[in-house]
Amino acid sequence: MPLLESEAPRDPYVLFQRWLREAQDAGAPQPDAMTLATYGEEGPAARMVLFKGLQDGSFLFYSNYASLKGRDMTYDRRAALVFYWSVTRHQVRVAGAVRRLGRAASQEYFATRPRGAQLSALASRQSRAVRSREVLERRVLELAAAYPDEVPLPREWGGYALRPRWIEFWESREDRLHDRLRYVLRNNGAWRFERLAP
């Protein structure tokens, strides 16, 4: 379906949620996967993370604050996201500023994670060199024994919220004459959109 200005919603989050649902319904593998691009003391970096929802106009995700991505976002709060769903031929790009979520919000989400994921987060000093997988597995077993009931929220782990400056929607078309609409946040909080050449 063509991405036309006359049919596009005025609110970019409406279109984002529609496209995410379409990707889920079409059987896209891991439709909540997104690329997170950051910049830090070591230069630019990108990696896949999981989208965990929208809150107050921000895209949420969780990670280790001491990881490379965490250090990057301390160095430079600007970051970008890319969603790509080949099955629906859609891409969404997002750029804006990142902030950490509060400890209570991070704890609330952490409590919903499977126990194995909780133990892995507690055991892993993400992005640090480790001697072997055996070392990690042994650490997980030690922590499982130490915390048979409730796994504590790791001190260096929590949520992030990326508040967009702009959101771009790309839809594949024949002959590479693709549709690109970019929503830009105005100073008054309203969105304007514009068509970009493919």
- Catalytic positions, written as ranges: 176
124: Cβ contacts below 8 Å, ≥ 6 apart = 64, 136
Residue recorded with tokens 């070392």? 135
Give the number of other CB atoms < 10 A from CB of residue 101.
19
Burial string for 174-187 (b: 16+ CB within 10 Å, else e) reads eeeebbbbbbebee
31: Cβ contacts below 8 Å, ≥ 6 apart = 20, 23, 24, 85
Compute the radius of gyration of the chain from its Cα atoms.
19
First to last CA, the chain: 16
